Structure 1
Amino acid sequence: MNDSADIRFLLTLRESGSLIAAARKLGLSPSAVTQRLQQLEKKLGAQLVNRSARRLQFTEEGSLLCERGAELVEQFDALFDDLQMRRGGLVGTLKINAPLGFGRRHLAPVIGEFQQQNPDIDVALTLSDRPLTDTPDRFDIVVHIGELRISNLVGHMIAPNARFVCAAPALLKRLGAPQSPDELSRLPCILLRENNEDVSLWQFSKGRMRRSVRVSAHLSCNDGDVIREWACQGRGVILRSEWDVADDIAKGKLVRLLPGWKAPDANVIALTHQRAGLPARTRHFMQYLQSRFRPLPPWRR
Structure 2
Amino acid sequence: MKFDGIVAFLTTADAGSISAASRRLGLAKSVVSERLAELERSLGATLLQRSTRKLSLTSSGQTFLPRARRILREAEEAAAELAARSGRLSGPLRLSAPVGFGILHLGPALARFLGEYPDIEVSLELDDGFVDAASDGFDAVLRHGAVGDGRLIARRLAASRRLLVASPAYLEREGRPASLAELERHRGILYSNRSGDWRFATETGWSVIRPNAGLRVNNGLVMRDAAAAGLGIALLPSFFVHDAVRSGTLEEIDIGLQAEGAELFLAYPRDHGAAPKIRALAESLRRSFGDPPYWES
- TM-score, structure 2 length as denominator? 0.77
d(CA) in 2 for partners of 1:19, 1:276 = 30
| Paired position in structure 2 for 1:144 | 143
Of 242, 257, 265, the residue aligned with 1:269 is 265
- Are residues 125 and 136 of structure 1, via their aligned partners in 2, closer, same or farther at CA, if it must alter by over 3 Å? farther
Counterparts of 2:152 and 2:126, CA distance in 1: 19
Identical positions, percent: 29
Partner SS for 1:56 = strand
Amino acid at match of 2:76: D
The residue number in structure 1 matching 2:233 is 237
Total equivalences in the alignment: 292
Q: Which residue of structure 1 aligns with residue 212 of structure 2?
A: 216
SS at match of 1:137: coil
Q: CA deviation at 1:58?
A: 5.8
Q: Which residue, out of 24, 38, 41, partners 1:39?
A: 41
- After superposition, the Cα gap between the structure-2 partners of 1:168 and 1:80, relative to the gap in structure 1 and judged at 3 Å, is same
Q: 1:225 to 1:20 in 2, by over 3 A?
A: closer
Deviations 1:218-271 (A, max 9, x none): 3455543343234245431001112222344455541233341433x3321223
- Return the letter of the residue paired with 2:207: R
Unaligned 5+ residue runs, structure 1? none
- 1:245-284 counterparts in 2 under 5 A? 245-250=241-246, 253-263=250-260, 265-278=261-274, 280-284=276-280
Distance 1:28 1:135 in 2: 31
User: Is the Cα–Cα contact under 8 Å of residues 179 and 256 in structure 2 kept in the other structure?
Assistant: no
Instruction: Answer whether contact 1:7 1:69 (CA < 8 A) is retained.
Output: yes
In the TM superposition, residue 281 of structure 1 has moved relative to its aligned partner by 3.5
Residue pair 2:147, 2:267 contacting (<8 A) in 1 also = no
Query: Residues 58 and 279 from structure 1, CA distance in 2 versus in 1: closer, same or farther, beyond 3 angstroms?
Result: farther
Task: State whether structure 2 residue 257 is matched by structure 1 residue 298.
Answer: no
Residues 134 and 152, structure 2, Cα contact 8 Å, conserved in 1: no
Q: Which residue of 1 aligns with 2:96?
A: 97
1:144-191 Cα offsets, whole Å, 9 max, x none, are 223447685543322122322222344334433334434333212223
Shift of the alpha carbon at 1:294?
Answer: 4.9
AA partner of residue 255 (structure 1): E
SS in 2 for 1:239: strand
User: C-alpha displacement at 1:98, in angstroms?
Assistant: 2.0
Q: CA deviation at 1:141?
A: 2.7
Please say if residues 147 and 267 of structure 1, whose CA atoms lie closer than 8 Å, have aligned partners that are also in contact: yes
Note the residue ranges of structure 2 that are not aligned, 5 or more in a row.
none
Would the alpha carbon gap of residues 154 and 54 (structure 1) be closer, same or farther in structure 2, given more than 3 Å must change?
farther
Residue deviations 1:7-66, cap 9 Å, x none?
434422332223454455454537535523432442xxx77556665242364x655644
Aligned ranges 1:159-198 → 2 under 5 Å: 159-193=158-192, 197-198=193-194
Secondary structure of 1:160's match? strand
* Distance of 1:127 and 1:77 partners within structure 2: 22
**Is contact 1:200–1:215 with CA below 8 Å preserved after alignment?**
no
Counterpart AA for 1:242? S
Please list the CA deviations of residues 104-143 of structure 1 after superposition, one character each: whole Å capped at 9, or x if unmatched.
Answer: 2221111111222333333333334436289973543322
- Cα shift at 1:99: 2.0
